[in-house]
C-alpha cells in the first residue's frame, strides 16, 4: 500500500461516477481527498472506499453553478485539512441544441458555468493552493469535438485549453501547474458498442493521477486529449 504523501486534493466534478473514480484513484496514490459529489452520487460508498486504503476524506455539498461556490469550497476544505495542493475541476455543462434554436438563457448558462465558473475556480486555486500546486481541468470536449448540437458547449469549453497555456506563462516556474484533460471523441457515433469505444471513469482517474504527480515541466500548460470516449459517457446532457 502506498503511504500518505502529505497532500490534499479537492475534487469538484459534475458527474457522480467521475467524481468518485477520480477521488478513489487519487486516494490510492496517497492523497487526502475533499470531494464534491453531485446529486446521485453515493457519498457513503465513496468515503468507505477511500477510508479502506487508509486515507482521510470528506465530502462537501455545493452547487458548482453558483458564482461564489469555489471560494466557499476552499474555505470549507481548508477548515478540514488545511491548505490544498491540487484542484480537479469538472464543472461544465452541455445543453444540446442547434445553434439557430438556442435561446439567450442557454447562452448565459453556458458562459456562466463553462467560462466564468472555470475562471473562478482557477483564480481561487491560484490564490490559495500551496506552492507547487496543481490544477487539472476536465472538459467533455474542450472545444475539440465537432458534432451537431453541441455548438455552445464547444465554444465555451474551449477556454480551458487557452487558460492552461496562458497560466503556464503567467506564473513563476514551479509555483503552480495547470493542465487540461479534453475528452475528445473520434468515435462518438459508435456508442452502441461501448466495450470498444467508451472510456470508463476509472480510466479518467488514471489520467488525473498521472497529471497530479508527473514532472511539472512535462505537463505544465499541456492539454491531454483522451479520444476513446463518447460525450454520453462523461456528461449528463441537460435539456
pLDDT tens figures, 19-61: 899 999 999 999 999 998 766 568 888 999 999 999 999 998 8
Output the pLDDT for position 217. 75
Q: Is the Cα torsion angle 193, 188, 156, 214 positive or negative in sign?
A: positive
DSSP 144-210: ----TT-HHHHHHHTHHHHHHHHHHHHSPTTTEEEEEEEE--S-TT-TT-HHHHPPPHHHHHHHHHH
State yes or no: pLDDT of 62 exceeds 90: no
State yes or no: pLDDT of 159 exceeds 80: no
DSSP 29: T
Query: How far is residue 63's CA from residue 237's CA, in Å, rounded to a whole number?
Result: 17
Output the pLDDT for position 31. 96
Mean pLDDT, all residues of the chain: 78
Query: How far is residue 135's CA from residue 137's CA, in Å, rounded to a whole number?
Result: 6
Half-sphere exposure of 129 (CA within 13 A, CB side): 27
Report for 174-183, 185-194, 230-239: range of highest mean pLDDT: 174-183
Give residue 188's pLDDT band: very low, low, confident or very high (50, 70, 90): very low
Half-sphere exposure of 220 (CA within 13 A, CB side): 17
Output the pLDDT for position 234. 37
State yes or no: pLDDT of 135 exceeds 80: yes
Query: How far is residue 198's CA from residue 203's CA, in Å, rounded to a whole number?
Result: 10
pLDDT tens figures, 196-228: 445 677 888 888 999 999 887 778 888 887 755
Residue with cell 459534475: 14
Of 27, 119, 34, 132, nearest to 74 by C-alpha is: 34
CB 50, CB 33: distance < 8 Å: yes
pLDDT over 90 percentage in the chain: 26
State yes or no: pLDDT of 191 exceeds 60: no
Cα–chain center distance at 147: 22
Residue with cell 465555451: 156
**Letter string b/e over residues 74-110, b meaning 16 or more CB atoms within 10 A of that residue's CB:** bebbeeebeebbbbbbbbbbbbbbeeeebeeebeebb
Strand partners, 182: 139, 225
Residue range 8-234, CATH number = 3.40.50.720
Q: How many residues does the chain have?
A: 239
Amino acid at each position: 500500500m502506498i503511504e500518505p504523501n502529505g497532500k490534499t486534493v479537492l475534487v469538484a466534478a459534475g458527474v457522480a461516477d467521475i467524481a468518485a473514480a477520480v477521488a478513489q484513484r487519487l486516494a490510492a496514490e496517497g492523497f487526502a481527498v475533499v470531494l464534491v459529489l453531485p446529486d446521485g452520487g453515493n457519498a457513503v460508498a465513496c468515503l468507505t472506499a477511500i477510508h479502506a486504503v487508509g486515507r482521510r476524506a470528506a465530502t462537501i455539498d455545493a452547487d458548482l453553478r453558483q458564482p461564489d461556490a469555489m471560494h466557499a469550497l476552499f474555505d470549507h476544505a481548508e477548515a478540514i485539512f488545511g491548505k490544498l495542493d491540487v484542484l480537479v475541476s469538472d464543472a461544465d455543462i452541455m445543453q444540446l441544441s442547434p445553434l439557430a434554436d438556442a435561446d439567450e438563457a442557454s447562452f448565459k448558462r453556458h458562459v456562466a458555468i463553462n467560462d466564468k465558473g472555470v475562471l473562478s475556480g482557477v483564480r481561487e486555486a491560484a490564490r490559495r493552493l500551496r506552492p507547487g500546486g496543481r490544477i487539472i481541468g476536465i472538459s467533455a470536449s474542450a472545444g475539440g469535438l465537432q458534432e451537431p448540437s453541441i455548438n455552445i458547449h464547444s465554444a465555451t469549453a474551449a477556454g480551458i485549453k487557452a487558460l492552461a497555456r496562458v497560466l503556464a506563462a503567467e506564473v513563476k516556474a514551479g509555483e503552480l501547474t495547470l493542465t487540461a484533460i479534453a475528452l475528445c471523441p473520434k468515435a462518438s457515433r459508435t456508442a452502441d458498442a461501448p466495450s470498444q469505444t467508451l472510456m470508463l471513469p476509472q480510466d479518467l482517474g488514471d489520467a488525473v493521477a498521472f497529471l497530479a504527480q508527473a514532472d511539472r515541466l512535462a505537463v505544465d500548460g499541456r492539454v491531454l486529449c483522451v479520444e476513446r470516449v463518447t460525450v454520453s459517457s462523461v456528461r449528463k446532457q441537460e435539456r
